[in-house]
Amino acid sequence: MSTIRKLKAEGRRQNTEVRCRTTDDKRQTAEFRFLLSVICYLSSVVLVFTTAGCAVCENSKLNTQCSILDENQESRIENRDEDFDFLEEELAEQMAEVADPLEPLNRLMFGVNDILYFWVVKPCAQLCKDVVPEPARIGIRNFFCNLATPIRLANCLLQGKGDSAGTELHRFLVNTTAGVLGFGDPARDKLGLEPAEEDLGQTLAVYSLGDGFYIVWPLLGPATLRDSVGFAGDQFLNPLWYVEPTEASIGISSGKIVNESSFHIGEYESFKAAAVDPYVAMRGAYIQYRNNQIQE
> In whole angstroms, what separates CA 292 from the centre of its chain?
16
pLDDT(49) > 50: no
Distances from the Cα of 147 to the Cα of 45, 151, 154, 238, 253, angstroms: 100, 9, 13, 8, 12
pTM given for the model: 0.67
pLDDT of residue 176: 97
pLDDT of 255 strictly over 80: yes
Angle at which helix 162-177 crosses helix 134-147, to 10 degrees, equals 130
Report the pLDDT averaged over residues 166-192: 96
Question: Secondary structure of the chain: what % helix, strand, coil (to 5)?
Answer: 80, 5, 20
pLDDT in tens, 129-151: 999 999 999 999 999 999 999 99
Classified as helix, coil or strand, 31 is helix
Between the alpha carbon of residue 54 and those of residues 41, 45, 65, 68, the distances in Å are: 20, 14, 16, 21
List C-alpha distances in Å: 64 to 54, 69, 75, 159.
15, 9, 16, 62
Give the C-alpha separation, 222 to 113, whole Å: 10
pLDDT band for position 98 (cuts 50, 70, 90): confident
pLDDT digits (tens, 9 = 90+) for 57-85: 344 443 445 344 445 555 554 554 554 44
Q: If we measure between CA atoms, which residue out of 240, 280, 295 comes closest to residue 107?
A: 280
Query: How does pLDDT run across 13-31, given as a tens digit for each residue?
Result: 555 554 545 555 555 554 5
Is residue 106 left, alpha or beta, with left meaning phi > 0 and alpha meaning psi from -120 to 50?
alpha
- Residue boundaries of the structural domains of the chain: 1-96, 99-295
- 112: amino acid identity, one letter: V
Measured distance CA(281)–CA(272) in Å, rounded: 8
Contact partners, residue 123, CB within 8 Å, separation at least 6: none
Could you tell me what percent of the chain has a pLDDT over 70? 67
Distance CA 253, CA 140 (A): 12
pLDDT of residue 28: 53
In this model, does residue 267 exceed pLDDT 80? yes
